[in-house]
């Protein structure tokens, strides 16, 4: 009897299991089928996006990375050939450079870029630093002081030649927004408000940078920054007998010729408000030639939006980014001087008059030799101007 009892128990348990199983299968079948989304192949999506930037037209490439494909591939080649940048197991050179250019071109946060390229924030941050260091190594190759020859932009223009035959470039400063600790913000506050770094640059008339010094406080005077540049080891130097054009803030000194103070500065040579004397004519043509600097700064800031936005890096990185942007600018101008991004990126200001007076102290500081040279240029220019327009 005991054996029959055990047998019945086993049969009962098995029957219950079968019934439970049947009920479970029925419930599963009666459920609505839930469709699963296909998983994104990140590698394929990333590659497709990069290809869409580089191979769907120059304008699309310019819109995203601020240069044409020709300049981009040439930049990658230079970085690789000089062993400044190499592909890794996780990211090739092409992607590294595209991500860097995308960030500085549009001031995009690492989080947003990471999402777009299917990369982690840590990966984006790491490769941004790697590419920045690589670009900085190009400084000596891309930014060079001029030789002693007269620039073709002067030789080929009768308004400037032979008067400015010894001029090798133009000099000016610009303010770039800066983020610094509260305890030193006062030193970085510029006259227009906000914290900035004051960047000194020498420019060729073909729109290339010849020298760049970044990192000075926004409150620093232009002439003080220039003095620092001239006294640095392997810093800024001016060939013997040559000079740069600069605005009135730099004064006239050895190798620097500024406009006459207390004289109308912006006029129109061919209008009803023509220059009335040698100094006005000199200031007019000095301004026409020197606006190259303002044009380059305008192009630079519109090409790289990172320069016109609140920085989110440490200050040394902010300095390096400014230099990197000037290096890339020179690279583009060297590979593709007719880059369409330069068209319409800078609008020359409307003519106006400047009549700021020269103080006694500033008069004493003017270098007599170069003031005399300026007078000679102005007089020769005025004599020719009168003869032509008589």
pLDDT in tens, 83-99: 999 999 999 999 999 99
User: Are 179 and 280 within one domain?
Assistant: yes
What is the residue range of 74's domain? Answer: 42-137
User: Are 66 and 208 within one domain?
Assistant: no
At residue 279, the pLDDT reads 93
Residue 62 lies in a domain: yes
In this predicted model, which residue has the larger pLDDT, 365 or 295? 295
In this predicted model, which residue has the larger pLDDT, 343 or 312? 312
User: Are 352 and 211 within one domain?
Assistant: yes
At residue 337, the pLDDT reads 83
> Which of 69, 103, 137 is the last residue before a domain boundary?
137
Are residues 215 and 319 in contact, defined by beta-carbon separation less than 8 angstroms? yes
Q: pLDDT over 90 for what percent of the chain?
A: 67
User: Are 219 and 295 within one domain?
Assistant: yes
User: Are 257 and 344 within one domain?
Assistant: yes
Secondary structure element (H or E) that encloses residue 372, with its range: helix 368-389
201: which strand partners? 172, 212
Q: How far is CA 129 from the centre of its chain?
A: 16
At residue 347, the pLDDT reads 45
Answer yes or no: is pLDDT of 25 > 90. Answer: no
User: Are 114 and 244 within one domain?
Assistant: no
> Across all residues in the chain, what is the average pLDDT?
86
DSSP codes, 195-222: BEEEEEEEE-TTS-EEEEEEEEETTS-H
User: Are 286 and 313 within one domain?
Assistant: yes
Whole-angstrom CA distances from 383 to 283, 287, 377, 378 are 15, 19, 10, 9
Answer yes or no: is pLDDT of 343 > 90. Answer: no
> Which of 107, 137, 167 is the last residue before a domain boundary?
137
Show the DSSP H helices in 56-171 as ranges. 58-65, 69-81, 93-106, 110-116, 121-136, 139-142, 152-155
Which residue is associated with the tokens 């984006």? 124
In this predicted model, which residue has the larger pLDDT, 351 or 40? 40
pLDDT in tens, 30-74: 555 545 555 668 889 999 999 999 999 899 999 999 999 999 999
> Which of 137, 165, 197 is the last residue before a domain boundary?
137
Give the number of other CB atoms < 10 A from CB of residue 365.
13
At residue 193, the pLDDT reads 80
Secondary structure element (H or E) that encloses residue 175, with its range: strand 167-177
> Under 8 Å CB-to-CB from 209, ≥6 apart: which residues?
143, 201, 202, 203, 296, 326, 329, 330
Q: How far apart are CA 262 and CA 272, in angstroms?
A: 21
Answer yes or no: is pLDDT of 192 > 90. Answer: no
User: Are 194 and 310 within one domain?
Assistant: yes
The total number of structural domains in the chain stands at 2
Q: What 3 state SS string does 275-342 have? A: CCCHHHHHHHHHHHHHHHHHHHHHHHHHHCHHHHCCCCCCHHHHHHHHHHHHHHHHHHHHHCCCCHHH
Residue 31 lies in a domain: no
SS3 at position 26 = helix
User: Are 212 and 317 within one domain?
Assistant: yes
Q: What is the mean predicted confidence (pLDDT) over 239-244?
A: 94
User: Are 240 and 350 within one domain?
Assistant: yes
Q: What is the mean predicted confidence (pLDDT) over 340-363?
A: 46
User: Are 186 and 253 within one domain?
Assistant: yes
Are residues 174 and 201 in contact, defined by beta-carbon separation less than 8 angstroms? yes
SS3 at position 41 = coil
> Under 8 Å CB-to-CB from 349, ≥6 apart: which residues?
266, 294
Q: How far apart are CA 319 and CA 225, in angstroms?
A: 15
Residue 200 lies in a domain: yes
SS3 at position 353 = coil
Residue 358 binned pLDDT confidence (cut-offs 50, 70, 90): very low
> Where is mean pLDDT largest: 9-18, 129-138, 233-242?
129-138
Answer yes or no: is pLDDT of 225 > 80. Answer: yes
Residue 13 lies in a domain: no
At residue 353, the pLDDT reads 36
The Cβ-side half-sphere exposure at 44, using a 13 Å CA radius, reads: 3
Burial-class residue 3 by CB neighbours within 10 Å (0-12, 13-18, 19+).
exposed
User: Are 152 and 260 within one domain?
Assistant: yes
Q: What is the mean predicted confidence (pLDDT) over 251-261?
A: 92
In this predicted model, which residue has the larger pLDDT, 22 or 71? 71
Are residues 323 and 124 in contact, defined by beta-carbon separation less than 8 angstroms? no
Q: How far apart are CA 301 and CA 186, in angstroms?
A: 24
Q: What is the mean predicted confidence (pLDDT) over 152-177?
A: 96
Whole-angstrom CA distances from 346 to 299, 302, 341 are 6, 9, 10
Residue 378 lies in a domain: yes
Residue 340 lies in a domain: yes
Burial-class residue 375 by CB neighbours within 10 Å (0-12, 13-18, 19+).
middle
At residue 388, the pLDDT reads 86
Residue 366 lies in a domain: yes
Residue 356 binned pLDDT confidence (cut-offs 50, 70, 90): very low
């Amino acid at each position: 009897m005991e054996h029959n009892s055990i047998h019945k128990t086993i049969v009962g348990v098995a029957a219950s299991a079968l019934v439970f199983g049947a009920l479970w299968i029925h419930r599963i079948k009666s459920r609505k089928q839930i469709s699963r989304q296909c998983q994104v192949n990140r590698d394929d999506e990333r590659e497709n996006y990069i290809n869409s930037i580089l191979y769907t037209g120059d304008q699309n490439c310019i819109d995203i990375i601020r240069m044409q494909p020709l300049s981009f591939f040439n930049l990658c080649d230079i970085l690789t050939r000089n062993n400044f940048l190499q592909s890794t197991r996780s990211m090739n050179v092409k992607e590294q450079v595209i991500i860097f250019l995308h960030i500085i071109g549009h001031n995009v946060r690492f989080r947003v870029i990471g999402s777009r390229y299917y990369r982690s924030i840590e990966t984006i941050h790491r490769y941004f630093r790697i590419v920045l260091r690589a670009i900085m190594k190009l400084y000596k190759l891309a930014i060079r002081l001029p030789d002693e020859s007269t620039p073709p932009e002067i030789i080929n223009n009768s308004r400037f030649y032979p008067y400015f035959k010894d001029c090798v470039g133009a000099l000016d400063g610009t303010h770039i927004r800066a983020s610094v600790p509260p305890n030193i913000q006062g030193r970085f506050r510029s006259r227009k408000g906000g914290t900035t770094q004051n960047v000194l640059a020498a420019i060729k008339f073909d729109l290339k940078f010849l020298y760049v010094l970044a990192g000075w406080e926004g409150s620093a005077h232009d002439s003080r920054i220039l003095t620092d540049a001239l006294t640095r080891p392997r810093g800024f130097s001016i060939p013997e007998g040559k000079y740069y054009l600069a605005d009135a803030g730099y004064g006239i000194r050895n190798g620097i010729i500024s406009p006459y103070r207390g004289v109308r500065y912006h006029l129109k040579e061919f209008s009803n408000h023509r220059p009335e004397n040698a100094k006005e004519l000199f200031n007019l043509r000095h301004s026409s030639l020197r606006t190259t600097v303002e044009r380059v700064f305008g192009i630079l800031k519109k090409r790289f939006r990172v320069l016109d936005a609140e920085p989110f890096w440490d200050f040394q990185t902010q300095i390096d980014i400014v230099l990197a942007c000037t290096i890339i600018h020179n690279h583009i101008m060297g590979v593709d001087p007719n880059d369409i991004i330069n068209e319409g990126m800078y609008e020359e200001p409307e003519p106006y008059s400047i009549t700021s007076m020269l103080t006694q102290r500033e008069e004493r500081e003017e270098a007599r030799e170069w003031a005399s040279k300026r007078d000679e240029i102005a007089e020769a220019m005025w004599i020719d101007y009168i003869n032509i327009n008589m």
